[in-house]
Chain A
C-alpha cells in the first residue's frame, strides 16, 4: 500500500497520469453542469418567496461549497506534506489556493448579486454566510501572500503549510463566531436561501451543479498541480529528457 502511494506520488508518474486523467473530469463535469444549468434555469419551478432570483443559488451554493472544500483540501495536503514530507502534497496545496480564492470570490459576487433584489442592497453585513466567505477570502489572500513572499520553494511550502493548518483550526470558529454575531443583529429579516423543504425539481439540478463543479474543480486542480510539479522538478533528469524528446 505504502509503495503504491509512493509510486503514485512520484512526480514523473503523477505528471503523466494527471494529463490522462483530466478528460475524465472535464467530460462528466461539463455534462453535469450543462444539465444542472439548463434544469436550474428553465425547468425548476419558481421559488414562491424569492421568485426567479433563487436560481442564483445554482451557481452560488456550489461555489461557496467549493471554497470551503478547497481550503480543507489545501490544509489536508499541506499537513500531509509537512508530516510525511511528500513534495506532491505541497504542490497540491500550492495549486489549490488560487482556485479556492477564485471560487470564494465567485461565491461572494453571486451572493452579493443575489442580495441586491432580496435585501435591496449589494452587501448585507447581517448575513453570516457572506461575511464568513469574506473572511475566507482574506485567509486565501494571506496564504498566497506568504507563499509569494518566500523565494525558496521548500521553505514556502513548509511555512504556508503551518499557516494553512492554523487557518483550518480557525475556519469553524470563524463560522461559529460570525453566526453568533449576526444572530444578534437587529436588521432586515433574512430569507433562508433554498429553505428546508426543497422541491426535488429544484434539488436535483442543484446536486448536479455541485457534483459538476467538483469535477471541473478536479480538472483545474490537476492542471495546476501538473504545472506546479513541472516547476518544482525543473532541474531533474526526467523533465530534461521529456522536454528534449518534445513531450508535454
Chain B
C-alpha cells in the first residue's frame, strides 16, 4: 500500500457518507432485516411453546441465530447496486486503494444492519425473559460479533456479486466461516445466564474481530476486482 493516509480516509468516509445518505433515502433497506430479526425471534416461542424455563434457556441461542440470519439477509445487496449502476467500476478505477473503500462498505454495512440489531436486541430479549444483566452481555457480544460478521460477510458479498444464484450461495459461503462467532457469542451469553465467567468468550470475540479486520478488507478488495472482471 503506497496510498497516502488522508486519501484513503477521505475515500472510506466518502463511501460511508454516500451509502448512509442512500440508506436514509430508502429506510426499507435498514428496516427489513430488523423486522426479519424480530420475526425469526418470534417464531421460536411459537414453535417451542410458551414455557418460561425453556424460553429463558434458549433465548441467547435464538437471538444469536436470528441476528446471524438477519445479517446475511442484508449482505446480498451490499455491492449489488454498485455493481449494477456502474459505480463499482468507478470505485475500482479510483486512485484510493480498494481495501479502504471495501472497509468503508463493511463499516457501512455494520452501521446499517449490525448496530440496529444490537440496539433492538434488548426489546426482543425481554420477551425471552432475559434479566437485565444478561441483556447487557448479549448486547456486548452482538456488538463484537456483528463487526466480524459484517467484515466476513463483505468477502462473501464481493465474491458472489453478479452471480445469479447469489443469495443462497452467499449463505453457503459465509455460514461455515461465521460458526466461531456464533459459538462464542451465544455460549458466552448462555454462560452469563448460568452465572459463569465470561471473560474468555468476550476476549475471543474481540480478538476475532481484530483478526478479521486485518484481512477482510484486502480479501474483499481482491474479490471485488475478480468479480467485476
Contact = CB atoms under 8 A, between A and B. Distances in A.
B84 to A, nearest CB: 18
B200 A180 contact: yes
A149 B183 contact: no
A50 interface: no
Contacts of A138: 172, 175-176
Interface string A155-186: 10011001101110110011011101100100
A158 B152 CA distance: 18
A180 B183 contact: yes
26 contacts: A82-B222, A138-B172, A138-B176, A142-B172, A149-B160, A149-B163, A149-B165, A155-B227, A158-B226, A159-B223, A162-B155, A162-B222, A163-B159, A163-B173, A166-B177, A167-B176, A169-B211, A169-B215, A170-B180, A173-B180, A174-B180, A176-B180, A178-B179, A180-B187, A181-B183, A181-B187
B184 interface: yes
Contact of A162 (B159, B163, B179): B159
A162 B219 contact: yes
Nearest to B191: A184
Most buried by B among A138, A149, A158: A149
B183 A166 contact: no
Interface in B137-186: 152, 155, 159-160, 163-165, 169, 172-173, 175-177, 179-180, 183-184
A145 interface: yes
B44 interface: no
Contact of A146 (B159, B183, B229): B159
B173 A145 contact: yes
B172 A162 contact: no
Nearest to A169: B215
Contacts of A149: 160, 163-165, 169
A177 B180 contact: yes
Contacts of A146: 159-160, 169, 173
Contacts of A238: none
B226 A162 contact: yes
Contact of A177 (B164, B169, B204): B204
B208 interface: yes
Interface size class of chain A, counting residues whose CB lies under 8 Å from the partner chain: 20 to 34
Contacts of B184: 177, 180-181
A141 B204 contact: no
B153 to A, nearest CB: 11
Interface string B178-213: 011001100100010000000010001000100100
A158 B164 CA distance: 18
Given A135-B179, A142-B176, A178-B183, 8 more contacts: A82-B222, A145-B169, A162-B226, A166-B155, A177-B204, A178-B179, A181-B187, A184-B187
A176 B163 CA distance: 33
Interface in B31-90: none
Nearest to A165: B219
A155 B215 contact: no
Contacts of A142: 172-173, 176
Given A162-B219, A162-B226, A177 B172 contact: no
A82 B225 CA distance: 13
Interface string A116-147: 00000000000000000001001101100110
Given A142-B172, A145-B172, A167 B177 contact: yes
B32 to A, nearest CB: 25
B101 to A, nearest CB: 17
Nearest to A143: B173
A227 interface: no
A150 to B, nearest CB: 7
B223 A177 contact: no
A55 B168 CA distance: 40
